[in-house]
Amino acid sequence: MNVRLYKSLSLASFLLTLLLFLSAAQAQTVEPRSTPSQSSARGEEREPWRLAFELAFGEGSPYSTVFPSLYDERLSYEVKRAITKDVLDRIVRIALRETGARRVELAYRPGGYNDFPVVPSAQLGLRASDRQVAHRVLNIIGYLAQQTLVIGSKKTRAAESRAALEIIETGDGRQLFDRGVIEKFWRRLAALSPKLGPGFSAIEKEGRPGIYIIDSDGDWRAEDFARFDEAIRAVATEFRIRASAEHFQVEYAEIGNDWKTNKDGASYLDRISNEGRSGLRRRLVQLYRPRVERWIRNAFKKYAPQTLRERRAAATRARNEGVQYSVSV
């Protein structure tokens, strides 16, 4: 073949290949445009769930008759937090492994409910493939920690939702990091505006402390928000705290079991069975629950041995007096 002709053909082949490559690359970078509703839906999918739960055992639960109460005022908050974290860290790992959900954050901060003492509360940020997975995580944790109620929320724009608000300390102050201050702040706020009283979670947002409150009773009205803001300003002024408040809507999940009537945690277990996950139910009862009981016992032995000994002694006295009292420690 003529050398000049060969070189011409090679150059033409190279240029054609380059043109095809550039066309393909351009096609790959062009994506369909999203409509506003599609963008909003994808934004909500990216929003993590925020789950809140404790280790303070539910009233009437088997653990409440076996182990010391985490509401016991003789235990310091730091001891309660150490026991709570020791046990719940392990329970959360079980829940994530069994569901495939992904942890975004796990923190232990003060949480309050009605007139109960403020105790350490787990705040679990969670990414789940769908609502059912998030609810399954709540059922697993609620059962293994023997909670009367566990809750979850996720920001949404859906019509069927609950209102929520965040109060964030602004400026240079960080007073709401103090457990005593945040409890007094919340109780004062609830006194001025009782609808804010059922419960709160302490939060941290971009390094600033705050309070997260959900309309758990579903009774907030549009006209309430101005009164809420007025109460927040009044309490912030009283405590000499600069704070801002943000209102938004959340998808709300409240999942529980009445341990006084369902000693075996049937409400949690039945929800799992109804999903067709009988194997998970068996593992929770036969494998995980004995482990959790051992973890709780060891945590009390490590951080509060005296209260555990006192609980054992009380159980022994009750048994000798013929009172039905469950003990396995």
Here the tokens at position 109 are 């901060």
Supply the pLDDT for residue 315: 72
Question: Is it the case that residue 37 has pLDDT exceeding 50?
Answer: no
Q: With the CA atoms of 126, 274, 54 and 302 taken in that order, what torsion angle do they form, in degrees rounded to the nearest 10?
A: -100
Rounded Cα–Cα distance for residues 9 and 324 (Å): 97
How much is the average pLDDT of 54-72?
95
The answer to whether the CB of 200 falls within 8 A of the CB of 186 is: yes
Question: Is it the case that residue 31 has pLDDT exceeding 60?
Answer: no
Question: Is it the case that residue 328 has pLDDT exceeding 70?
Answer: no
* CB contact set of 293 (below 8 Å; sequence gap of 6+): 63, 66, 328
The answer to whether the CB of 202 falls within 8 A of the CB of 182 is: yes
Supply the pLDDT for residue 18: 44
The answer to whether the CB of 103 falls within 8 A of the CB of 50 is: no
Question: Is it the case that residue 207 has pLDDT exceeding 50?
Answer: yes
Here the tokens at position 206 are 């971009």
How much is the average pLDDT of 68-84?
95
- Backbone phi, then psi, for 133, in 5-degree steps? -65, -45
Question: Is it the case that residue 17 has pLDDT exceeding 90?
Answer: no
| % of the chain surpassing 90 pLDDT | 74
| % of the chain surpassing 70 pLDDT | 83
Rounded Cα–Cα distance for residues 262 and 99 (Å): 24
Delineate the domains of the chain, giving CATH numbers in brackets: 36-148+263-329 (no CATH), 158-256 (3.30.70.600)
- pLDDT, tens only, 261-312: 999 999 999 999 999 999 999 999 999 999 999 999 999 999 999 998 888 8
Supply the pLDDT for residue 44: 52
Here the tokens at position 67 are 């182990």
Rounded Cα–Cα distance for residues 309 and 285 (Å): 27
Range with the largest mean pLDDT of 116-120, 293-297, 321-325: 293-297
Here the tokens at position 261 are 């009537």
Supply the pLDDT for residue 13: 53
Question: Is it the case that residue 138 has pLDDT exceeding 80?
Answer: yes
Give this prediction's pTM: 0.82
Query: To the nearest whole number, what is the mean pLDDT of the chain?
Result: 87
Task: Report which residue type is found at 90.
Answer: R
